[in-house]
Amino acid sequence: MSRREYEVWRDAHTWDPARETDLVVQADLAPAAWLEPLLVPGSFEVRMTAPQGFDAYARIFFPFVGADAGPDGADGADGADGQEFITWRELARRNGRIAHALMEQETIAAGPDGGDAGETCCGSLTAAQFGALLPILTRHTSSSEGWFLLWDGFGDLNERVFSDAGPKVRHPTRSFYLLRGPLGAYDAFPDQPSYWWPDDRAWCVCTDVDFEWAYLAGAAACIDDVLAVAAIDAFATRPENPARSGMDVINDPDAIVPRSG
């Protein structure tokens, strides 16, 4: 394969938002400038990722991937081909653990003997979670369009569109591309954006490639609506709460459960 042939192949097999979505990569980064001053780098608290200054906050847990649910389905199954997604609350219940805002996947996945049953997190919002979350967020903003920060480290981005020479939003630990599009375009990304907010900044959804959850910052009424929907699997949290390995002292008071990082 010649270099030209490779470039054509690569262009066809990597993500170009203009080809598949209504999202547009932005050259003017000013709409994202509000975010960084409200973060606290190096704190390893919620406010290291989620901006301060909102009325309320929630931690939304990406579910664990269980065994195939089978042809008749199973409790918690919401994926393709009967794939079972297990909420953190449900996994904690199965293993005799306490579900709470600072739980860690290692502490609730540990069975009665301390061993790990082998479940892993899916790493992003499921279709069911997104389907439940989007109408709530849409009700709590006057905007139909929004902004998205996509980590520049993903390997499936089209180099012609996402050039290293292009503008990036740079935070202390990550660099991002800024995109704009309809609020519902969040699930059109091949990889989950790290930040998502509407034009009026009524709320902000925040996550990181190292997290198995997202934070939502918004008005108290918005957070209350999210917490009321069991399918979203969220707990109220605060900007000063820890967001680091070892924070679950309820399920692991003696710090004996091994963490992955």
Separation between Cα atoms, residue 82 and residue 48, nearest integer Å: 37
Say what the pLDDT of residue 245 is. 94
Q: In 10 A of CB 254, how many CB atoms? A: 6
Q: What is the pLDDT of residue 23?
A: 97
Low-confidence ranges of the chain (pLDDT < 50): 68-77, 115
Residue 77: per-residue pLDDT: 43
Residue 81, pLDDT score: 53
C-alpha–C-alpha distance, residues 49 and 205, integer Å: 10
Plot region of 235 (φ>0 → left; ψ -120 to 50 → alpha; else → beta): beta
Closest CA to 61 of 221, 194, 207, 222: 207
Residue 151 Ramachandran class (φ > 0 left, ψ -120 to 50 alpha, else beta): beta
Strands (E), 42-141: 56-61, 64-68, 83-86, 120-121
Q: How many helices (H) and strands (E) does the chain have?
A: 6, 12
Look at residue 78 in the predicted model and tell me its pLDDT.
56
Report the pLDDT value the prediction gives residue 70, as an integer from 0 to 100.
37
pLDDT of residue 3: 78
